Amino acid sequence: MRSLRVLLLCASLASGLAGSALAADPDPSDWPAVTAAARGEHLYFNAWGGSPQINDYVAWVGERVAAEYGIDLTEVKLGDAANAVSQILAEKAAGVTEGGSVDLIWINGENFAAMKEAGLLAAPFATKLPNWRLVDTENQPTILVDFTVPTDGMESPWGGAKLVFFTDTARTGDVAAMPKSTAELLEWAKAHPGRFSYPAPPDFMGTTFLKQVLSETVADPSVLQKPVDEETFDKVTAPLWAYLDALRPALWRDGRAYPQNYPEMKQLLADGELDIIFAFNPSEASAAISAGELPDTVRSFTFPGGTLGNTHFVAIPFNSSAKAAAMVVANFLLSPEAQARKADPKIWGDPTVLAMDKLSDEERKLFQSIDRGPATLAPDELGPVLAEPHPSWVPRIEAEWAKRYGQ
């Protein structure tokens, strides 16, 4: 993944001609005009394409917006959103201020921070969408602040995320006996060598595990809410590397290899090679059971002291060729219909960003009728949310991990 520092350096060399494009952005305050302009537009939606369930959901979105709004949606399946960010940046450097190749992008965290700092985003639009009134800004603060960076209406929330762990109780027994912190996880791994691992960073889930350990072991968690200070980086992160040094000999394959990504980690659990894995979706285990990917004896657990949580978003690049369609799709993604379908573990199982008390009785029934499956923890069982570190920590700890443990 290209680092935030490199992205910003490139941006400083770019032509900086985005202002004229921003002035021409559709105004979501005039929604009839936006929907009229969107009809007939071809929208290229750049999104992570590593999940068949998510891809199927996006295909359904495409069918719905085609039928209702006349929008032709094509999903561009990404392995990493940073690739699309780099493409947008290259277009800006080349002076391509309209007709860009990316019309709507699924992002959060360091990618949003990079796009915002580099001037790669369209004018603020999210808070003016008709369905914004349904969004749970009161109880989900990560909707307004993305990895410490204010969203300022430049990205529209799509779903929530909370780190959860799960295990096959047919092999490990009562889920209540599972580790309750990364410190306990280390001791569990030592007692059960080869039965735990994590994907190699810069895979998203692998980096998430590093951030979880760092958040639990750092002496002063508040330092993670600020940009990395190179003068103190070694001292701040020393407990993380000490932890990983102690964990490595107990990992799957003695730490000589790592799963490539979450799907491989899930397959290793299904095959009986791993006993504990993790995901950034509280419904993931139930969704995998429903899809026949995991046995129905799998159950979720989390840490009472908290695990990382955040919101993921869609954003419109400054030079999108279909800004009206992008706004319409972003608004549709916030509809109770789309959010309830997404929350169903049989479809995706992604937590909603809507506030139930802002919905009508009929709209709430869409959510109340969802069968969340046998392995989904109740909201009051998920534990506290640990704040994501500032985006600048991601490339820095990824680089350090590669230097220490990369193959």
pLDDT score at 51: 87
Nearest to 339 by CA among 327, 351, 324: 351
Query: What is the chain's mean pLDDT, rounded?
Result: 92
Distance CA 303, CA 295 (A): 23
Least-confidence region, from 219-223, 276-280, 289-293: 289-293
Sequence-ordered list of residues with C-beta below 8 angstroms from that of 372, at least 6 positions apart, any chain? 283, 286, 345, 349
- The answer on pLDDT for 18 being more than 60 is no
- The answer on pLDDT for 2 being more than 60 is no
- For β-strands 164-168 and 298-301, DSSP reports them as antiparallel
- The answer on pLDDT for 203 being more than 80 is yes
Instruction: State the average pLDDT over residues 48-63.
Output: 94
* Residue 163: how many other CB atoms lie within 10 Å: 25
- The answer on pLDDT for 208 being more than 60 is yes
**pTM, full prediction:** 0.78
Instruction: State the average pLDDT over residues 252-270.
Output: 96
- The answer on pLDDT for 12 being more than 50 is no
pLDDT score at 345: 84
pLDDT digits (tens, 9 = 90+) for 341-391: 999 988 988 889 999 999 999 999 999 999 989 999 987 788 888 889 998
- For β-strands 307-315 and 385-386, DSSP reports them as parallel
Domains belonging to the chain, first-starting first, are 4-159+312-377 (3.40.190.10), 164-309+385-405 (3.40.190.10)
pLDDT score at 16: 42
